[in-house]
Copies of this chain bind each other. A is one copy, B any other.
Amino acid sequence: MNLFTKQTATLALAAGMGFAAVSSAWSAESLQDVMKRRGLSQQDLLAASKTYVPTGKRDEFVAFSSGGQSGQVIVYGIPSMRILKYIGVFTPEPWQGYGFDEESKEVLKGGRIDGKDITWGDTHHPALSETNGKYDGQFLFINDKANPRLAVIDLRDFETKQIVVNPIFKSEHGGAFVTPNTDYVIEASQYATPFANKKFVPLERFNEEYRGGVTYWKFDRKEGKIDVKKSFTLELPPYSQDLSDAGKLASDGWSFTNSFCTERYVGGIEKGRPPYEAGCSAKDTDYMHVINWKKAAELVAAGKAKKVNGMDVIPMDVSIKEGILFLIPEPKSPHGVDVTPDGKFITVAGKLDTHVSVYSFEKIMAAIKAGKFEGKDPYGIPVISMQDTLHKQVQLGLGPLHTQYDSKKCVAYTSLYVDSQVAKWDYCEGKVLDKISIHYNIGHLMTMEGDTVDPKGHYLVALNKLAIDRFNPVGPLHPQNHQLIDISNDKMQLLYDMPIPLGEPHYVVAIDAKMLKPGIRYKVGTNSRTDKPSAGAVRAGEEHTDKKAGKVEVFGTLIRSHITPETIEATVGDEITIHLTNLERAEDETHGFTVSTYNVHASAEPGKTVTVKFKADKEGVYPYYCTEFCSALHLEMQGYLLVKPKGYKEVKVAAAKADYNKADYDKQVKKIADTQAVIDSVVGFITSHNYKDFPDVVALVEDATDQLGRMKEAKAKHEESAKKQDWQNATLWAEQVWQYQVKAADIGLRAKTYLEEHGAKKVGK
């Protein structure tokens, strides 16, 4: 009875590439009809064929995008451009229980500033952890520009594990960027502020007392955490430091940070002064900062840093004296500073210049070695001349912004904001190879693993800042438009327009999907935010509720489809703590939990223990329930929190009378037998096929066996009750046996369908 197989069989593959009009009963429309009806060109069809991912197949690359002002990270597949997940990072997100359960509140607490919760973030640059300059698929880092913070996401479970606050900066646009072995995560300040940041200093003292900086956060890979104590910052002039990139291979040990507004202009349009946009873009060049971070780390270890707000800071004079900090002029208001895969060149795009400038690391080193400088900036930092260090300058168009690299040698792609184009060019020879129009006004762009030592080519994503007319209108606030471009051929081909429904992503990184191997369940009783056993975890049968003066602490469990306990009793004013362990082992069997009107929610994936905590500050009856559609009877996965008034006296109430009799019980027993026959036939189908060759089916069979295993206890109870002629309990426990049967049948049918769809074969006895 497998309809899918039947349908496929009717679709005879026409000879060669001619697509015969399919006239079988199941489809009245041929491909030709569809193209005509939908107005698709052959180019459209080709693009569709390059991006469509059929059911059950996987995307080739997984992208991690900044969620912009949503404060989250967006995960999507390439080439299908389907969004797979929004990961809660800086903003509380109830579906994931993020900021609603106690475990994740601890993570967000790490992001408090001046003792207060910050409930959002302006995320900008995600960075994947690297080993030897290649993505290793282990961790993701993302910054918050508005509130200078950095978050660590573990790619074993796609959860945020840590948020750290920069104690010196007040904003930071330029992060995160990692060194080739993820020793450090680089983060630069944006708008200069007084360095000892708790102090007011008038803007008139901008040049003297306002400062920028670059922080190198030490990453402890084993702990999966930033080690704040081993992190340090370089003090920098009050330029607006912007993006960075770490050197690699040839340039390993160095990092590069560009800047704008080196005019150090202070606006004041309200006082008749020209605005920042005029004053900050008046000169033709800004400065690229060239920093020897390896030596900087040694200086810190040698005690040459000063503590500022608890962080080790290398003062500018020390950096200058020790020869770890240099400047090179770069074209006007630059954005990207992007090291080539071999580490030999650094590409800078100045938004208000039509060129990209390719700097030679070798030439930079030669100038430094020779002590050949064109002068010093106002703070005494040596300035290397542009001429001495340039490899090539290539005219690309209006508004060049950010560069990424191809798997093909010497090939680079640069976004042109004003021209609304992507330019493909050769950075070795310095020539333009191709251009393609995007829609509209591209900011960053991204090629597959295009900022590593080993770019993968294939695709490019244009992160367009305006969508305007591209999508069905959804009001004055438009989605962003990420356009997918095929770069595997000489000419670029536009493949797909992807609306971003929440947040304005600034940058995105993509990794070969094969590199990601996240888990599907936790070890039972895990606090997922610490990756350690939860103190609130219990095993099945060990559930209990502890009551102490003013406190009720529940150690409960979740399983298809009941919550243990089903009643929680408290007195007004009690502090309620509820720990819940999801006992499921099956993939995707998540349970949610909430208590009516008490503003708590938790998502418990298989094995996870979650904790919610609140004050029962109002008398009454509050239903709680599982918020995930976990089984056919998920609505019945419920309970009641009873909040009694202080001094409430229990009232003696007559026991409820029985609703069921022997006939009801006998009916149940017959139903169980009938259902078992269905289950046996499904089991027969599965075991008569080579199901052990399909790991997904083996997992389903284990889950079904698990469900049937749970029957035993309920079966013993209904039989025991029947012996005592307690037809009430006998009937209901028998119903519970049937509920387990229904769940097992559900899983068994899924397994059967899977085997049919995947061409499983009959096996001999």
Contacts and interface: CB of A to CB of B under 8 A. Distances in A.
Interface string A67-107: 11111001111000111111000011111100010000000
Interface string A606-617: 111000000000
Interface size class of A (residues with CB under 8 A): 35 or more
Nearest to A6: B491
Interface stretch (A48-56, A214-222, A367-375): A48-56
8 contacts: A69-B94, A146-B601, A148-B596, A202-B653, A276-B638, A420-B746, A473-B518, A504-B627
Interface string A573-598: 00000000000000111101010110
Interface in A670-702: 696
A240 B522 CA distance: 34
Contacts of A170: 596-597, 620-623
B19 A587 contact: no
Given A17-B32, A476-B607, A477-B605, 5 more contacts: A85-B477, A200-B620, A200-B642, A205-B653, A468-B587
A546 interface: no
A542 to B, nearest CB: 12
A175 interface: no
A555 B8 CA distance: 65
B506 A277 contact: no
A468 B757 CA distance: 15
Interface in A491-531: 491, 493-494, 496-499, 501-504, 506, 513, 516-522, 528
A735 interface: yes
B633 A333 contact: yes
A490 B29 CA distance: 11
Interface in A642-662: 642-645, 648, 650-651, 653, 656, 659-660
A417 to B, nearest CB: 5
A498 B587 CA distance: 19
Nearest to A19: B17
A642 B170 CA distance: 13
Those 9 A-B pairs whose CB atoms lie nearest each other, nearest first: A26-B491, A48-B52, A94-B120, A270-B565, A158-B475, A476-B605, A191-B623, A204-B653, A275-B562
A473 B277 contact: no
Nearest to A608: B476
Given A190-B623, A518-B474, A620-B197, A594 B146 contact: yes
Given A198-B620, A629-B504, A474 B599 contact: no
A93 B628 CA distance: 22
Give the copy number: 2
A670 B478 CA distance: 38
A481 to B, nearest CB: 9
A619 B270 contact: no
Interface in A156-190: 156-159, 170-171, 173, 190
Interface in A18-48: 18-22, 25-32, 34-35, 38-48
Contact of A21 (B17, B39, B44, B266): B17
A285 interface: no
A468 B696 contact: yes
B51 A501 contact: no
A443 B736 CA distance: 22
A466 interface: yes
Nearest to A717: B274
B85 A100 contact: no
B50 A34 contact: yes
A437 interface: yes
A57 B42 contact: no
Contact of A11 (B7, B42, B281, B749): B42
Given A57-B39, A499-B84, A419 B147 contact: no
Contacts of A620: 170, 193-194, 197-200
B477 A562 contact: no
A261 B623 CA distance: 14
A398 interface: yes
Contacts of A564: 269-270, 275
Given A203-B642, A483-B55, A592 B69 contact: yes
